[in-house]
Amino acid sequence: MNSGRDVHSFSEPWRVRVVHCSLELDVDFESRQLRGTALLTLERLDPAAPVVLDTRDLNIQEVTAGEPLTFALGPRDPILGARLSIDLSAGTDSVLIRYSTSPKASGLQWLEPHQTAGKEHPFLFSQSQSIHARSWMPIQDSPGVRVTYDARIKAPSELRAIMSAQRDPADENSFKMDLPIPAYLIALAVGALEYAPLGPRTGIYAEACVLPSALREFADTEKLVETVESLYGPYRWGRYELLILPPSFPFGGMENPIVTFVTPTVIAGDKSLVSLISHELAHSWSGNLVTNATWRDFWLNEGFTTYIENRIQEEVYGREQALMEQVLDRRELDREIAEFGERDQILHIDLAGRDPDEGCTRIPYIKGALLLRQMEMVFGRPAFDHFLGSYFEHFAFSSITTAEALEYIRRELLDRYPNESRAISLHEWVFEPDLPACAPRARSEALEKVADGPDHAAGWNTQQWLEYLQTLKRPVGWEQMKQLDDRFHLTRTGNYEILAEWLLMAIESGYEPADERLHEFLLSVGRMKYLRPLYAQLKKSPGGREKALVLYREAKPLYHPIAQTAIERLLFLEQEVPGEQRIDP
């Protein structure tokens, strides 16, 4: 099997390793730049070797260690950015790099006041996963390299800075993370943010006008934390906060330690999309405590997390809720398996030569979670829960490869229950495409009831609506769309999950009364989960490619650089082939 070499980093941590990063950064909204210094503490395993860092579009002004050091910035690779190599003299154990970021930094989004909820102040947020930390700091940007960090942020005084670290009680703008984390978990946000507590160690940051609805929606957060602790052991990061971002945030959530970043599109008013918080919280164990060593091991982060997410949902919201979510997830997985080439159906995916963000499909999430579900069923819940707890204990604060995880699973689980183990082929699950025939399939009575038709729709929850819309016999005609809309006002629903599903159907069926809402949606929401299918469906519809391009041109300033890349790839590629070599538009 392939070793743990990270093909997405230039760094050579086995020669010189960065162990601490100390940032001093000025936030300049005018020029859309971060400017300042990174002081990196080094561990020199090979005394003759230079320190090699990852960068992307950084302007490196000087590198010093008391005196100027010689450095070389390599050519820009379209996926990896540029290698920064710094020569070290004997005894040098830290380097100070003075730099500024590009206004187009892939890991930062700079928002104008009108792109925020409050519309009065600008906003900045980072998104470092997978390999975007290097676009806002010179660092060994590999999940196999863990650092502690501290930072001092200078931002306009009317704004508040937030980082994935502990705030210094004596200085609002100073932060410290004294547990070792990979670079992709270093995060920063700056905006007109208010704070309100939820529980003893939980709370929410949000713009003032969003805070009340966020507090209601996520009122159970403290209970979620207690639930995971009761299942898998202590929460190790001190506080757990949520930061509600403006709607352009390209993801649903991001598990930045201490402060999860959250899209406002999950505030549905009825807690029906809270599984996203369960998911990000679960990463405090699977991902942040035990981390994938390279991006091909991503399923260790997301598969474990998706499984734990559902266990939390079951404990807090009941078995039926958890089953509904499993059934809907499985449909998404089956669709991707049908659509993708074989190499992209494999958990231990080969991402060499590709952007690791392309590995973020339903495969590592849902196929990964199904493997864990099967182990739970084969070995029994108590044994499997105990195993997971010991896995987190054993690998705490380390980054591991698929091989290391499998070795541990075999030793601590399979070898202990040789009879039961015969039911499971780890090799097939992890290294082969498609799903093993024995993959468990969840059933939900609540979702099955939906087949009775919409006469009972008054009592349907979000998941039942999704089930109904997804299983309506295709093609759905214009007349049927109109009838549904007249009866249930779906074009006007405030639930983004249902709305996205409905708008997709509207494009497919040429139902033009939804055009305006689609326009409004694409111009206000930057969450890629919704943008991707909507633009893809538009592109397929008659005359739709031109429409999509016009819409995209208008909406582009709202979208995050990562989302822009994804949508442009989709719109300008003749045919979207999942996992196709990246082509720059």
11 binds, among Zn ion, ligand BES, none (CB under 5 to 8 A by kind): none
User: In angstroms, what is the minimal distance from the CB of 127 to ligand BES?
Assistant: 7
- Supply angle C-alpha 377, 378, 381, rounded to 5: 50
Residues 6+ apart with CB under 8 A from 384: 372, 375, 376, 413
The residues with which 554 forms a beta bridge, in sequence order, are none
Phi/psi of residue 580, nearest 5 degrees:
-65, 145
Judged by CB, which is closer to ligand BES: 54, or 280? 280
* C-alpha pair distances (Å), 33 with each of 36, 99, 105, 491, 562: 10, 10, 9, 39, 17
Q: Are 309 and 328 in contact (CB under 8 A)?
A: no
Residues 6+ apart with CB under 8 A from 536: 570, 576
Judged by CB, which is closer to ligand BES: 99, or 136? 136
User: In angstroms, what is the minimal distance from the CB of 139 to ligand BES?
Assistant: 17
217, 280, 467, 501: the active-site residue: 280
Q: Would you call 468 a catalytic residue per the annotation?
A: no
Looking from the CA of 392 toward its CB, the CA atoms found within 13 Å total 25
Judged by CB, which is closer to ligand BES: 51, or 242? 242
Judged by CB, which is closer to Zn ion: 28, or 302? 302
99, 240, 317, 365: the active-site residue: 365
Q: Are 272 and 461 in contact (CB under 8 A)?
A: yes
The residues that touch ligand BES, with contacts defined as CB under 6 A, are 129-130, 251-255, 276, 279-280, 283, 302, 357, 360, 529
User: In angstroms, what is the minimal distance from the CB of 277 to ligand BES?
Assistant: 9
User: In angstroms, what is the minimal distance from the CB of 301 to Zn ion?
Assistant: 6
Token pair belonging to 98: 């003075």
User: In angstroms, what is the minimal distance from the CB of 63 to ligand BES?
Assistant: 29
User: In angstroms, what is the minimal distance from the CB of 483 to ligand BES?
Assistant: 32
Sign of CA dihedral 552, 556, 559, 562: positive
Measured in residues, the chain has a length of 585
CB environment 423-444: b (16+ within 10 A), e (fewer): ebebeebbeebebeeeeeebeb
- Residue 178, Cα to own-chain centre: how many angstroms? 23
122 binds, among ligand BES, Zn ion, none (CB under 5 to 8 A by kind): none
How far apart are the C-alpha atoms of 243 and 163, rounded to whole Å? Answer: 10
Neighbours of 247 (CB within 10 A): 19
Residues 6+ apart with CB under 8 A from 127: 107, 108, 109, 187, 249, 250, 251, 254, 261, 560, 562
User: In angstroms, what is the minimal distance from the CB of 280 to ligand BES?
Assistant: 6
How far apart are the C-alpha atoms of 213 and 207, rounded to whole Å? Answer: 11
Alpha helices in 358-494, H assignment, sequence order: 362, 368-379, 381-395, 402-409, 418-421, 426-431, 445-448, 462-471, 478-488
Q: Would you call 307 a catalytic residue per the annotation?
A: no
The residues with which 73 forms a beta bridge, in sequence order, are 84
Helix (H, G, I), strand (E, B) or coil at 360: coil
**Own/partner pairs for 65-71, CB < 8 Å, 24+ apart?**
65/89, 65/92, 65/94, 65/95, 65/96, 69/95
Judged by CB, which is closer to ligand BES: 127, or 491? 127
Pairing of the two strands 146-154 and 160-163: unpaired
265 binds, among ligand BES, Zn ion, none (CB under 5 to 8 A by kind): none
Judged by CB, which is closer to ligand BES: 99, or 125? 125
Judged by CB, which is closer to Zn ion: 159, or 308? 308
Q: Are 261 and 207 in contact (CB under 8 A)?
A: no
User: In angstroms, what is the minimal distance from the CB of 124 to ligand BES?
Assistant: 18
Judged by CB, which is closer to Zn ion: 106, or 305? 305
User: In angstroms, what is the minimal distance from the CB of 89 to ligand BES?
Assistant: 38
**Identity at 198, one-letter amino acid code:** L
The residues that touch Zn ion, with contacts defined as CB under 5 A, are 302, 305
Judged by CB, which is closer to Zn ion: 305, or 399? 305
Q: Which residues are catalytic?
A: 280, 365
